[in-house]
Amino acid sequence: MKKIKTDVCVIGAGSGGLSVASGAVQMGAKVVLIEAGEMGGDCLNYGCVPSKALLSAAKQAHVIREGGAGIAGVTPQVDYAAAMDHVQSAIATIAPHDSQERFEGLGCTVIRAHARFISPRTVQAGDTEITARRFVIATGSRAFIPPIDGLKNTPFLTNETLWAQRSAPKHLLILGGGPIGMEMAQAHRRLGSDVTVVDAGKALGRDDPEAAEVVKATLRNEGVSIIEDAPVIRVSGGAGDIQLHLKDGQTLSGTDLLVAVGRVANTDSLDAEKARIDLTSKGVKVDAALRSSNRRVYAIGDAAGGMQFTHVAGYHAGVLIRALLFGLPAKAASHHIPRATYTDPELAQIGMTESEAREAHGNALTVTRAEISGNDRAIATGRSAGGGFIKVMIVKKRPVGVTIVGPDAGELISFWALVAASGLKMGQIAGMVAPYPTLMEVNKRAAGAYFTPKLFESPRVKTVVKLVQRFLP
């Protein structure tokens, strides 16, 4: 058995693990990086990158089909296999940045094997034992497979297996109306498949209901069937002929099934108990500094049991670098973390939704909004229809939450992430100047809407203005 001693041992070469490893090794620490699967993790190989690549191909088909602004729409010639080739090309283009060769070139010792703890200070990976001053669990998550009768005996896809498909499903059944389910529903519908989404609760149920309805209405208009409040109690059938049996007695039939009902952290095979690491149903139990019950072991990203987003893992990595390399206190926060669903229109959120803010702040809350239909850039580019909007929840002149639904919402929310991280007030936001015409102006308009009743509808302001005008030379 080969034995290694190191400063930092990172378990998992996804977004968070790679960020910790590259930062630590380039600042002089000895680093061992362990990965049993694909370098780059779920996001590169099965999640963010492939899904957005397929959505891009699907949008091209949709634009050709719909036409617009004097351009007649025509039926697109969809080549599903070529669209999947685009997906693989996107992955291959990004992969070298996350590759074993790159990280070995940086100075990391990379071990391609499954890691498990054998003591509080030692991990075994293949034929190597690694003893480290600090460990970072960055093992990510995988698709949760619900215990539905018959599901295990029925062929189904997950986000890990979908990308190997070479022909478009004739009728894709999607179990789960969260971001993954809704994104893939729209992508496949635009690529020519019939699509039915089934959710036991509400589709996009974590999001602001008003904003979620804008997205759902668009997908329904495009031909996606969305069935809500419909628990599936049994799955039956075989390849090309699958049935979902609903609690209300209804049976849905399709040719293919995608299971997208959530994620589960990859912590169950770490032998965490041997390292005295406490686990919860969501992952590793960590404190605000991302430290586990074993003071030498930290967890980041999906493995830490919180928000399951690639950018959260990257943010966690930055927090840990401060603690691991410099011994400085550092805590992870979540109030400034945005999330986005990349349907068309996109739906983005930071902080509290309106209902959450009303419950937390009551009468101290002010809600202001601006409609996408009033944005000149959206009008000029034919993207003003559909009911998109921005909604800002404000307490004591500071935003506590922002909801955006509409074109490029995932880009627009980044501005509010900066606002939240910097603790800016609405007056500072209103002072921002955006180039004209841009979608970014909708952010400024929302800030302006906050001051409208205070300035234009206030008798006191009007009285002051009249007095000043009387005495001005």
Binding-site members for NAD(+) are 176-183, 262
Helix, coil or strand: residue 456: coil
Closest CA to 348 of 414, 301, 397: 414
Cα gap 346→405, rounded to integer Å: 6
CA angle 321, 323, 327 (to 5 degrees): 125
Kindly list the distances between the CA atom of residue 118 and the CA atoms of 80, 121, 131, 225, 323, in Å, as whole numbers in the listed order.
46, 8, 10, 50, 25
Burial class (CB in 10 A: 0-12, 13-18, 19+), 431: exposed
- Write the DSSP assignment of 244-303 as a string of letters: EEETTS-EEEESEEEE-S-EEES-TTS-GGGGT--EETTEE---TTSB-SSTTEEE-GGG
Name which of 228, 237, 253 is nearest 170 in CA terms. Answer: 253
With contact defined as beta carbons under 8 Å apart, do 242 and 155 qualify?
yes
> Taking the chain, what is the end-to-end CA distance rounded to the nearest angstrom?
91
Residues in the chain: 473
Under a CB-based contact definition with an 8 Å cutoff, are residues 6 and 31 in contact? yes
Residues at the binding site are: 52, 139-141, 176-183, 262, 302
Residues 6+ apart with CB under 8 A from 288: 331, 332
Residue 154 · residue 242 · CB < 8 Å: yes
As annotated, the binding site for FAD includes 52, 139-141, 302
Tokens 């930062």 correspond to 23
User: With b meaning 16 or more CB within 10 Å and e meaning fewer, what string describes 366-403?
Assistant: bebbbbbeebebbeeeebbebbbbbbbbbbeeebbbbb
Tell me which DSSP letter residue 113 carries.
Answer: S
Q: CA–CA separation, 465 vs 459, rounded Å?
A: 10
Helix (H) or strand (E) holding 8: strand 2-11
Q: Provide the 10 A C-beta neighbour count for residue 174.
A: 32
Residue for token pair 């419909």: 230
Q: What are the start-end ranges of the E strands in 396-467?
A: 398-406
